[in-house]
Every structure is written in structure tokens, then in C-alpha cells.
Amino acid sequence: GESVGLHLPTLSVQEGDNSIINCAYSNSASDYFIWYKQESGKGPQFIIDIRSNMDKRQGQRVTVLLNKTVKHLSLQIAATQPGDSAVYFCAENKGSSYKLIFGSGTRLLVRP
Amino acid sequence: DADVTQTPRNRITKTGKRIMLECSQTKGHDRMYWYRQDPGLGLRLIYYSFDVKDINKGEISDGYSVSRQAQAKFSLSLESAIPNQTALYFCATSESRTGNTGELFFGEGSRLTVL
């Protein structure tokens, strides 16, 4: 069935290093993808999105890469900071569908 | 003040009780959503509403009902709570637009425990 999954449930990185969080999706018809960050005790917060007609999009310290050939999405965080510690979710959306399908999340831990 | 406010933030109740979770927003968005979050399962859509007269079931609507009292208010009810409805519940809003759902703005969550 359709699924949005993550390769690693927990990622631990050294402060200052770059982080890469991966996400696999199985619905080849999905054409819009979003990354959310959820800090402890808070609701998810939008980070960055990308449409399927792009393969890369950059924000402030974050980059999302989309590889449609292998149905893979990644979030890269440059110079990871303690404030980046959170759970990160990818989500996919198909065409005019109302529904975002969320992955189960990856916890990012930043070591001082 | 938060743009999307949920009440209560925490609630413990007993099996069979009726529970209402309320959500209000000051973002002026037409679209509102209720999601449920369980460990290891991400967020799953319960109900959504694209305007005051529009209510739609999501992927896990059984055991839940909703009411869109105004553009700014969207409440979720559990008519007879059961233990497997213990979860973290999120309300979210988004702008009206054609095509993709786009960015969701979430409240801070309501943690419900059903004993």
C-alpha cells in the first residue's frame, strides 16, 4: 500500500556538523512534499516544501532534495545547532488531494 | 498568543465518557483539520473542514465527530471514549487554495488519556 517511511528513527549528530534526514515514499503519483519539525511539547512546524517538478530547494540552513526515480526525499540541515533537536516528519500530497500523508518521524539529537 | 489554540491541553477521562476538544484560530484560514498522533505512526487525519458548511471524514474518523461552529472554531468530540483513543490530538489550519493542501499551521496539541 501507499506509505511514507523513514530510514532511521533516531539520528545523532555533533553540533556544527551537517545532518541528513531521509524519507522514502511509495506513491509515484505524489507531487508535493513537505518537511515538518516537531519540538517536544509542541505542534509540528513547517520547514520547507518541494514540488515534483523540482529536485532541489533551499531555505535558510536547510535543503530538500527529491529523487523521483527512487522515490526518495531528504532534508539536509547545515551546521546543526542544539535548537535543531526535534522530531522531523516528511509528508506527501497528491495532486488536488486534501490529504497529507505523514511519515512516522525521525528524532534528531544534537550532541554538544 | 498562539494563532491556533487548543483546549484542554491535557485531559484524563474514563471509558464511556463524552469528551470535546476545542480549537480556535486567529489566522483567518478557511480550512481546519483534526489529526491524531500516536508513537511510531506519525499524524493521521481524523476530520477536515474546508469552510463552515463543509465537513469531511479523514482516514480514521470512526468513533469521532466534529462541529465547525464558525470559521475560527472547529471542535472534535468523542461520544463514548475508549482506551485506544488515548493519543495526542492536533488541530491545524491552512489557507484556501486550489491544488495541494500546502502548509499546515498546528496547535500545540491536546493530550487525551482514556482509562
Question: Following DSSP, what letter does each residue of A9-33 receive, concatenated?
Answer: SEEEEETTS-EEEEEEE--TT--EE
pLDDT score for A5: 46
Contact B41 A104 (CB under 8 A): yes
Q: How many residues does chain B have?
A: 115
Top mean-pLDDT range of A2-16, A20-34, A45-59: A45-59
Which pLDDT belongs to residue A90?
Answer: 93
Contact B59 A99 (CB under 8 A): yes
* Tens of pLDDT, residues A66-103: 999 999 999 999 999 999 999 999 999 876 556 788 88
Please classify residue B3 by burial: count the beta carbons closer than 10 Å to its beta carbon, then call 0-12 exposed, 13-18 middle and 19+ buried.
Answer: middle
Chain-chain contact of B42 with A102 (C-beta, under 8 angstroms): yes
The conformational region for residue A106 under phi > 0 = left, psi -120 to 50 = alpha, else beta, is beta
How high is the mean pLDDT of chain A?
88
Cβ distance of A41 and B106 shorter than 8 Å: no
Q: What is the pLDDT of residues B58-115, one digit of tens each?
A: 989 999 999 999 999 999 999 999 999 999 999 999 887 655 556 889 999 999 999 9
CB-CB under 8 Å, A4 with B99 = no
Q: Please report, rounded to a whole number, the percentage of residues in chain A having pLDDT higher than 90.
A: 68
| Arithmetic mean of pLDDT, A25-46 | 90
Q: In chain B, which residues have their Cβ closer than 8 Å to the Cβ of A23?
A: none
- Chosen for mutation from A31, A102, A106, A107 (greatest number of chain B CBs closer than 10 Å) is A102
Let me know: does A107 contact A11? Beta carbons within 8 Å. yes
**Chain A residue nearest residue B101, CA to CA:** A98
Spell out which residues of chain B touch residue A42, defining contact as CB-CB under 8 Å: 108-109
Cβ contact (<8 Å) for A97 and B101?
Answer: yes
On the CB side of B11, how many CA atoms lie within 13 Å of its CA? Answer: 25
Across the interface, of A89, A97, A99, the residue whose CB is closest to B42 is A89
Please tell me the predicted confidence (pLDDT) of residue A28.
85
Chain A residue with the nearest C-alpha to that of B46: A99
Cβ count within 10 A of residue B110? 22
Cα B7 vs. chain centroid, distance in angstroms?
A: 11
Contacts of A36 in chain B (CB under 8 A): 104
CA-nearest residue to A89 within chain B is B42
